[in-house]
Amino acid sequence: MATPEFILDLRAKIGTDELWLIGATAVVLRDRDVLLIQRADNGQWSPVTGIVDPGEHPAAAAVREVAEEAGVRVAVDYLAWVNVTDTVVYPNGDRSRYLDHTFSCTWLSGEPFPADDETTAARWWDLADLPPLGVAVASRIAAVVDSRARGDRVTALTPPLGSG
């Protein structure tokens, strides 16, 4: 899906100034595989991420984004991590920061494919043989994998509350 209409409306008023947005990341696991998409804007592999629409629950946004970008149906299991991203500068100069909600998700059905123009590839990767990933992306996957390995559903906060 292209840039949401509400973002375009805001950009018409503020130009490329930094926006504070709510984001959702879906770390989708199927056995020992994780669903990754290759982003059209930078060529990097990543779990599915997206902007939460006004009034939308972040978990619903995660499910919607996976269907839109990879053509896969998922169920959200739990919120694994909440983090503030670094400022993202897009090729057109737009700047945004995100309060990202990373969800642990379980695959329900469908085989991944690049389902929109934001995605050039979508596939399952063995957790032991992942492509090169940025630190922020790897941290999101690790938050889900680590919490599942511990058998807990505690939401990690970065930085930890009370640390500064």
Rounded to an integer, what distance in angstroms lies between the CA atom of residue 3 and that of residue 121? 19
In CATH, what number is assigned to the domain containing residue 128? 3.90.79.10
Residue 64 has pLDDT above 60, yes or no: yes
Residue 37 in any domain: the answer is yes
147: in domain: yes
Residue 56 lies inside a defined structural domain of this protein:
yes
Res. 164: pLDDT tops 60 = no
Residue 126 lies in a domain: yes
pLDDT in tens, 152-162: 887 777 665 55
Q: How many domains does the chain have?
A: 1
Q: How sure is the predictor about 5, in pLDDT bands with cuts at 50, 70 and 90? A: very high
Residue 6 lies in a domain: no
| Within a domain: 38 | yes
- Ramachandran angles phi, psi of 139, nearest 5°: -65, -40
Beta strands of the chain (E only): which ranges?
19-30, 33-39, 45-46, 48-51, 73-84, 88-89, 95-109, 119-126, 156-158
For residues 121, 127, 130, 135, the Cα torsion angle rounded to the nearest 10 degrees is 100
Residue 163 within a domain:
no
Structural domain harbouring 65 = 18-158
The pTM of the full predicted model, rounded to 2 decimals, is 0.91
Q: Is residue 45 part of a domain?
A: yes
CB contact at 8 A, 89 and 12: no
pLDDT tens, position by position, 118-134: 899 999 999 999 999 99
